[in-house]
Amino acid sequence: MAQYYTDLALSHSQLLEIRDEFIKEARKGLRGEKSTCLMAPTMVDILPDGDEIGEYYAIDIGGTNFRSIHATLSDKKGEVVNVEMEDNAIPEEYFSCHADQLFDLLASSLLDFAKRHGRHSEDRQLPIGFCFSFPCTHTAIGEAIMVKLTKKFENDGLVGQDPAKGLQRALDRQKANFRVAALINDSVGTLAGGCYVDADTKIGVILGTGTNACYVEEARNISSLAGKNGQGQQRPLMAINTEWGNFDASSLPSTDIDRELDADTPNAGNHHFEKMVSGMYLGEVARRAILKLAEEAELFGLEVPPQLREPWALTTPALAKIDEDASWLLSSTAQVLSETLGLPASLCTHTACLRVKQVCNLVARRSAALVAACLAGLLKQIGRDGSSTRMQPTTIAVDGGLFEHYQAYRGYLRTNLDQLLGRQVSAMVKIVQIRDASSMGAAYLAAAIDEDT
Ligand code: ADP
């Protein structure tokens, strides 16, 4: 039993090794070599700095909803006067219709939204940001080729096509005076969202159902750009989409639980980092560990409660509730076990609850430690790890339900980063939560592009 505890806990030296292997993978990706981290150039070579002013629109399409955004940016640095957002569920038939119809839906909704909020300029084509969180190869800041369909989408006319052009054609059909100026994913949106409110932002991180990170890299380090527009590259910096969810290296911990979980997922063999880190998986990792304790150490008595064998029965919010349980005799843990796994109160002894809480804590801490190790890697890559002569203040912007709703997790991330960077350097690194970052980031980016042209 103790084995599971030792396997899930990561030592400082392991984390340093993971940090270094992450840097190696990242650099391979930047050179365009085979790497578990794609390190995709986003072509976003301009970012907001909080000085943008005016009214801007964006559209953000996720897995089940799409959102229209109208933001009025203040003349006070980094401040927003007003934000309006409208979420619409994507009707079922739009997951399989032709892409043109899907884009028509987005365009008409945005136009209708714009007529109700703020202004819709008749005389000037307003740049808009388009947050489109699907795998794409970017060829310019507002231009990309969609690589593959994910989530529930099965539409013809998307793969191999440019989603920005598709939306632009639909806007033109609607006679909407908008120009799709930026096509980004949610991690770039988080970076841009962070940059607007805090110009020291260099990294944007998603910690929600999935995980990803985007950061500001020097263009001269991105040799994979050569032959694209690398030669003609004018600007010194570019946002890189790490796609770190797929990061893998020999130093990454891989317990029996991780291997078994991976084998049972549709994308087995891929996304090892994400499966140890993100909100989609943490509850399931913990359930499998608790099941092993029940089978091998009779945690709930001689019989293993059958509900414990139900895959995905323990969600990450439930794990968080157990980990943060400060109630007398862990009554809250017993309640979660009863509500989510249907365990009768008689089986939820104080000892059993204590063990379950320890497991949940280890799984969450391991996730935060892994994220901190990779963040330390990115900070090192951009010279913000204290190794350069003058450490500059640096901000990491984070969005996603795991970070937003799980307070203890935020603490684990901070502590691990402090340990990896050393307190003095770490004091210069802020980790801030940016709510609705991908949507807001798309609007801020449209503003930054507008001011630049
Ligand atoms: P998405 O990533 O799906 O776009 P969110 O950023 O809202 O959406 O993240 C949702 C994820 O956040 C959920 O899948 C869940 O794993 C995690 N989450 C939500 N609430 C909590 C909570 N209270 N504690 C821990 N994790 C949570």
Q: Give the number of C-alpha atoms closer than 13 A to the C-alpha of residue 85, restricted to the C-beta side.
A: 16
Count other C-beta atoms under 10 Å from residue 292's C-beta: 19
> Using a 6 Å cutoff on CB, does residue 32 contact ligand 1?
no
Q: What is the mean pLDDT of residues 197-201?
A: 96
> Using a 6 Å cutoff on CB, does residue 254 contact ligand 1?
no
**323, two tokens:** 């980990």
Which of the four pLDDT bands, split at 50, 70 and 90, describes residue 227? low
Same domain for 203 and 309? yes
Residue with the smallest CA separation from ligand 1 atom 16 is 279
Distance 410 CA to ligand 1 centre (A): 13
Element holding 87 (H helix, E strand): strand 80-89
Per the domain annotation, does 139 fall within a domain? yes
Q: Could you tell which of 186, 316, 361 is best to mutate to test the pocket of ligand 1, judged by most ligand atoms within 8 Å of the CB?
A: 316
- pLDDT, tens digit, for every residue of 329-351? 899 999 999 999 889 889 999 99
Q: Which of the listed residues 124, 149, 184 is the one where a domain comes to its end?
A: 184
* Boundaries of domain holding 63: 43-184
Atom of ligand 1 minimally distant from the CA of 400: 6
pLDDT for the residue 202: 98
Per the domain annotation, does 173 fall within a domain? yes
Per the domain annotation, does 306 fall within a domain? yes
- pLDDT, tens digit, for every residue of 12-43? 999 999 999 999 999 999 999 999 999 999 99
pLDDT for the residue 316: 97
Same domain for 65 and 170? yes
Same domain for 216 and 332? yes
Q: Could you tell which of 133, 185, 187, 209 is best to mutate to test the pocket of ligand 1, judged by most ligand atoms within 8 Å of the CB?
A: 209
Per the domain annotation, does 74 fall within a domain? yes
Distance 383 CA to ligand 1 centre (A): 31
Q: Is the pLDDT of residue 453 over 50?
A: yes
Distance 198 CA to ligand 1 centre (A): 24
Per the domain annotation, does 446 fall within a domain? no
Q: Which residues pair with 130 in a beta bridge?
A: 59, 183
Same domain for 235 and 363? yes
Which of the four pLDDT bands, split at 50, 70 and 90, describes residue 148? confident
> Using a 6 Å cutoff on CB, does residue 283 contact ligand 1?
no
- pLDDT, tens digit, for every residue of 413-451? 999 999 999 999 999 999 999 989 989 999 999 999 998
Same domain for 234 and 304? yes
Per the domain annotation, does 444 fall within a domain? no
Same domain for 94 and 237? no
Atom of ligand 1 minimally distant from the CA of 279: 16
Same domain for 266 and 133? no
Structural domain count of the chain: 2
ipTM over 0.85: yes
> Using a 6 Å cutoff on CB, does residue 31 contact ligand 1?
no
Same domain for 48 and 22? no
- pLDDT, tens digit, for every residue of 55-70? 999 999 987 899 999 9
> Using a 6 Å cutoff on CB, does residue 405 contact ligand 1?
yes
Same domain for 72 and 180? yes
DSSP annotation string for 228-272: TTSTT--SSEEEEE--GGG---TTS---HHHHHHHHTSTTTTS-H
pLDDT for the residue 230: 46
Per the domain annotation, does 384 fall within a domain? yes
Same domain for 59 and 9? no
Closest CA to 266 of 370, 150, 364, 363: 150
CATH number at residue 114: 3.30.420.40
Q: Could you tell which of 66, 151, 281, 402 is best to mutate to test the pocket of ligand 1, judged by most ligand atoms within 8 Å of the CB?
A: 402
Residue with the smallest CA separation from ligand 1 atom 6 is 400
Say whether 147 sits in a helix, a strand or coil: coil
Tell me the residue type at 226: A
Residue with the smallest CA separation from ligand 1 atom 13 is 209
> Using a 6 Å cutoff on CB, does residue 212 contact ligand 1?
no
Q: Which residues pair with 204 in a beta bridge?
A: 214, 397
Same domain for 241 and 384? yes
Same domain for 105 and 209? no
Residues 6+ apart with CB under 8 A from 16: 373, 420
